[in-house]
Structure 1
Amino acid sequence: MVAKRLSLKRFKSDADGAAALEFALVAPILFFIFMAILEVSIMFFASANIDGAAIEAARRIRTGQAQSSGDATTDFYDTLCGLLSSSINCGNVFYDARTVATFTSVNLETTYDPDTGEPITYGFAAGGAEDIVVVRVMYYWDFATPLIGSYLDNTGTGKRLLASTVVFQNEPYE
């Protein structure tokens, strides 16, 4: 009986493996947080990359280089895709360019097709010299980390729409 009591006392005070058990309980949460931080960081990098590519591609419209190339749409698309990083599939990028009468008439609201859920684009009109042009570039970011999409989703589809808008007046290049 005394021997049995001693072995129970030893078992009760034995702490071998406690750290491993605690780590096993906390590890999934830590890995989820690390994955979420990494994915959000990559998403912000992609957003900044889209902004930079949109500005540079829109610059070709502003200076008249895209219009003088013969096909402004292809020139814009090639420039845009050449500047996007490998984390962005250029085939899934939505873009448009349209002219407006005044800066105050610019509408930056994005409307979505009710059937597909994709943003509605307005075609591609690079305009002429001194026209006011609105260029939009949009991309759906698919989340790989579970549950992150439900918190960072801005479209109702579990994806985040990364968008860049550039508004400018074309230079008097003609």
Structure 2
Amino acid sequence: MQAKSPIWRTFKRSEDGVAALEFALVSPMVIALMIGTIQIGMLELMSTNLDAAVMSTTRKIRTGAADRPVGADAFEDAICEVMIDERDKCRDRLAISVQKVTDFAAAEAVANATPTGQYDIGGPGAIILVRATYRWPLILPMYAGGFRLSEPSEALIDARAVFRNEPYA
């Protein structure tokens, strides 16, 4: 049997570079966890932002305000003014539907349907269903949380509102 060389014994006992090796093994997981946390935080922020934008814009419809949106494009513009995303990107990522329904049960039946771009605000006392869906790009799709995916790299953020128009004149 051959004796092991002194170089091998020295290499075996050496602890130089152990920290670098441990960092190389652990850092990808830590970085992915940090990116995932930031991504979920951004999804929650955008979800809250979309909800607030839809609520402030639908209030103008509900109350019959003079500056209420008069068409689907104006409605999208009003939402995108409140969103924290760039206006052009917002318009590309946003899909809306504003439709008059017969009663609240009918609104519940179609609330989860994909927005089709229609715009019918009804009149005083009408029941209105507003659907807005926003596509948000993902860095790590496996960290999408409870959000639905429209594509492997995009989450769908939804906002829905159902209300009865006030008896405005």
User: Do both proteins adopt the same fold according to a TM-score greater than 0.5, normalized to the shorter chain?
Assistant: yes
Could you tell me which residue of structure 2 aligns to residue 105 of structure 1?
106
Alignment of 1:35-50 (within 5 A): 35-50=35-50
CA distance in 1, matches of 2:95, 2:167: 28
Q: 1:35 to 1:61 in 2, by over 3 A?
A: same
Task: Name the % identity.
Answer: 28
Could you tell me which residue of structure 2 aligns to residue 91 of structure 1?
91
Q: 1:63 to 1:14 in 2, by over 3 A?
A: same
Contact 1:95/1:138, CA 8 A, preserved across alignment = yes
CA distance in 2, matches of 1:71, 1:146: 35
Q: What's the TM-score once normalised by structure 2's chain length?
A: 0.82
Q: 1:83 to 1:27 in 2, by over 3 A?
A: same
Could you tell me which residue of structure 2 aligns to residue 113 of structure 1?
none
7-16 or 124-133, which deviates more: 7-16
For residue 130 of structure 2, what is the amino acid of its counterpart? V
Secondary structure at the counterpart of residue 119 of structure 2: coil
For structure 1, the 5+ residue unaligned runs are 111-118
Could you tell me which residue of structure 1 aligns to residue 32 of structure 2?
32
Alignment of 1:70-81 (within 5 A): 72-73=70-71, 74-81=73-80
Contact 2:69/2:78, CA 8 A, preserved across alignment = no
- Give the paired residue count: 162
- Computed over aligned residues only, the root mean square deviation of the Cα atoms, in angstroms, reads 2.7
Q: How far off is 1:96 after superposition?
A: 1.2
Could you tell me which residue of structure 2 aligns to residue 52 of structure 1?
52
Q: What's the TM-score once normalised by structure 1's chain length?
A: 0.80
For structure 2, the 5+ residue unaligned runs are none
CA distance in 1, matches of 2:67, 2:8: 86
For residue 72 of structure 1, what is the amino acid of its counterpart? V
Q: How far off is 1:90 after superposition?
A: 1.9
Q: How far off is 1:69 after superposition?
A: 4.4
Question: 1:144 aligned to 139, 146, 149, which one?
Answer: 139
Deviations 1:107-142 (A, max 9, x none): 2122xxxxxxxx441510011111110011111122
